[in-house]
Amino acid sequence: MSKEFEVVVIGSGPAGYHAAIRAAQLGFKTACIEKWLNKDDKTVYGGTCLNVGCIPSKALLDTSHKYVEAQHDFETHGIKVGKVGIDVPAMIQRKDNVVKQLTGGVAGLFTANKVEGISGTGKVIAKDKVLVTGHDGKQEELLTKYIIIAAGSVPIDIPPAPVDQDTIVDSTGALEFQAVPKRLGVIGAGVIGLELGSVWSRLGAEVVILEALDEFLPMVDRQIAKEASKILTAQGLEIKLGARVTGSKVGKGAKKSVTVEYTDKNGEQKATFDKLIVAVGRKPYTVDLLDPAVGIEQDERGFIKVNDYCETSVPNVYAVGDLVRGPMLAHKGMEEGIMVAERLAEQKAQVNYALVPSVIYTHPEIAWVGKNEEQLKEEGVDYNVGVFPFVASGRALAANDAEGMVKLIADARTDRILGCHIIGPSAADLLQQAAIAMEFSGSAEDLGITMFSHPTLSEALHEAALAANGHAIHIGNRRRKK
């Protein structure tokens, strides 16, 4: 027996559930297939982001940050709290509760919007047909006008450090430790490695991050990356650059440890840890997803090939989120999901890929949008730079949270904002103000003439905009030009 729909979405991560809800809002009869089961074997919506990604990692980052504040910061404010301890199982349980609330929320949104959630694994078997295999092995065909593939991504594993989810874990396992490891190794100083390394370092683990590249955060503006390296190292993260992991050996016995072999500029090295997190990136997940006869093309790394509108090589079949080109970020997938649904309804939607914001949720946060100085130099663009340090911000000092800076880059000729790069308190939220200005082709002057509430952290962005044109009030104006 087969069921008929107008839109079938495969995967309910941020890309898939946004696509499904928007399609249903626009009047399409929509189904969303999801294969994820929670610890109680119940179907859960929300994908990597809600279950083992953005949300649980931020829950642990928030808990561990409060722990650090209670230990080191409260006293500065005159607050006496006595001996501070951490109950790791309670922290993990709170994280699980947040995940449960949010995944349940997606199920509720499906019901409210009349999206039919279907439990099982979807496979595209024709341009208008998806085969669903339930967890009991029963199969059902869905006929549909449009297919949106949003099957997401999974962690990359590397042969030198095979994940056993016990001693050697991936990002999912690192969200489940039941005790603070004494010595923790992390392979990869990317976004996920820095965030998860920070969580356990704040709770007392000695953390060593092994990174194959010689440069720290190569995708980040150099000035900001340098500041980040200084701050994170001072917090206790040991970041070894130019250290390529080549092998590992897990010890025997109840209290296993892992010895990692790596090479650096001095030759072959060894280090022993109680736990090792492999955080070397993610890859598109397309296992048993596509019947090759349908002709949906993939690139050499397994990403489904799409154009700017997320159309695949097969008409009426779309792909969105982590399994297509571009940064693997939840919000990028969400926008793609919405764009595809709206284009099915013949609306002129598009995604502005030039303005995808990026964030690393360490403390302070690191956030950026648009071009950095190095990119602009390479493109031969003349620009002005305005930098404002948080140490000159009244609000940041009042909060005892004044590390970092806001850096705004504007075109020297037109004053149009080309990039914003922040390391500092609430950088992710502050950045969004620059992103909005950039979406409307705003200039540094536009931000400069906007009235900002005092005292706010946002004033640092205001001052950086003024500084780009040489008239910041709260710092000396040494206007830097390219």
The footprint of ligand FAD (CB under 6 A) covers 10-16, 33-36, 47-49, 52-54, 57, 121-122, 150-153, 171, 192, 285, 289, 321-322, 328-331, 333, 361
Residue 187 contacts which entry, ligand FAD, ligand AMP, none (Cβ below 5-8 A, type-dependent): ligand AMP
Active-site residue, from 72, 77, 135, 454? 454
Residues 6+ away with beta carbon under 8 Å from 60: 91, 92, 95, 175, 196, 199
Provide, rounded to whole angstroms, the least separation between the CB of residue 358 and ligand AMP.
10
Q: Which two tokens stand for residue 8?
A: 């079938």
Ramachandran bin of 137, using left for φ above 0, alpha for ψ from -120 to 50, beta for the remaining angles: left
Provide, rounded to whole angstroms, the least separation between the CB of residue 476 and ligand FAD.
36
The nearer residue to ligand AMP, 233 or 350, going by C-beta atoms, is: 233
Q: What is the DSSP letter of 371?
A: -
d(CA 116, CA 33): 8
* 191 in contact with ligand AMP (CB under 6 A): yes
Q: Which two tokens stand for residue 68?
A: 């650090």
Residues 6+ away with beta carbon under 8 Å from 143: 2, 3, 4, 5, 128, 129
* 192 in contact with ligand AMP (CB under 6 A): yes
Provide, rounded to whole angstroms, the least separation between the CB of residue 401 and ligand FAD.
20
The nearer residue to ligand FAD, 147 or 385, going by C-beta atoms, is: 147
62-88 burial: b if 16+ Cβ within 10 Å, else e? bbbbbbbbbbeeeeeeeeeeeeeebee
Strands 115-119 and 30-34: parallel
d(CA 356, CA 393): 27
Question: What binding mask, one character per residue, do residues 419-458 give for ligand AMP by CB under 6 A, x or -?
Answer: ----------------------------------------
Nearest to 323 by CA among 16, 6, 74: 16
Provide, rounded to whole angstroms, the least separation between the CB of residue 125 and ligand FAD.
12
* 158 in contact with ligand AMP (CB under 6 A): yes
* 281 in contact with ligand AMP (CB under 6 A): yes
Q: Give the three-class secondary structure for 63.
A: helix
* 102 in contact with ligand AMP (CB under 6 A): no
Provide, rounded to whole angstroms, the least separation between the CB of residue 187 and ligand AMP.
5
Active site residue 454: yes
Nearest to 307 by CA among 322, 294, 326, 292: 326
Residue carrying the six token digits 């949106």: 148
Total Cβ atoms within 10 A of residue 352: 10
d(CA 376, CA 480): 14
Nearest to 461 by CA among 482, 418, 431, 436: 431
Provide, rounded to whole angstroms, the least separation between the CB of residue 175 and ligand FAD.
7
Q: In what order do the strands lie in the sheet with 267-273?
A: 244-250, 258-264, 267-273
Provide, rounded to whole angstroms, the least separation between the CB of residue 238 and ligand AMP.
14
The region of 204-212, 354-362, 435-443, 446-454 touching ligand AMP under the rule CB under 6 A is: 204-212
Q: Which two tokens stand for residue 448?
A: 């400069």
Q: Which two tokens stand for residue 410?
A: 């504007």
Q: Give the three-class secondary structure for 152.
A: coil
Residue 210 contacts which entry, ligand AMP, ligand FAD, none (Cβ below 5-8 A, type-dependent): ligand AMP
d(CA 35, CA 144): 19
Nearest to 190 by CA among 166, 156, 161: 156
Provide, rounded to whole angstroms, the least separation between the CB of residue 278 and ligand AMP.
9
Residue 211 contacts which entry, ligand AMP, ligand FAD, none (Cβ below 5-8 A, type-dependent): ligand AMP
Name which of residues 239 to 278 contact ligand AMP (CB under 6 A): 244-245
Residue from 188, 321, 337, 419 in contact with ligand AMP (CB under 6 A): 188
The nearer residue to ligand FAD, 14 or 424, going by C-beta atoms, is: 14
Residue 151 contacts which entry, ligand FAD, ligand AMP, none (Cβ below 5-8 A, type-dependent): ligand FAD
The nearer residue to ligand FAD, 126 or 412, going by C-beta atoms, is: 126
Q: How many helices and strands in the chain, by DSSP H and E? A: 12, 23
Provide, rounded to whole angstroms, the least separation between the CB of residue 161 and ligand AMP.
7
Residue 244 contacts which entry, ligand FAD, ligand AMP, none (Cβ below 5-8 A, type-dependent): ligand AMP
The region of 205-213, 305-313, 332-340, 352-360 touching ligand AMP under the rule CB under 6 A is: 205-213
Residue 47 contacts which entry, ligand FAD, ligand AMP, none (Cβ below 5-8 A, type-dependent): ligand FAD
The nearer residue to ligand FAD, 127 or 256, going by C-beta atoms, is: 127
Residue 305 contacts which entry, ligand AMP, ligand FAD, none (Cβ below 5-8 A, type-dependent): none
Binding site for ligand AMP (CB under 6 A): 158, 160, 187-192, 210-213, 244-245, 279-281
Catalytic residues: 454
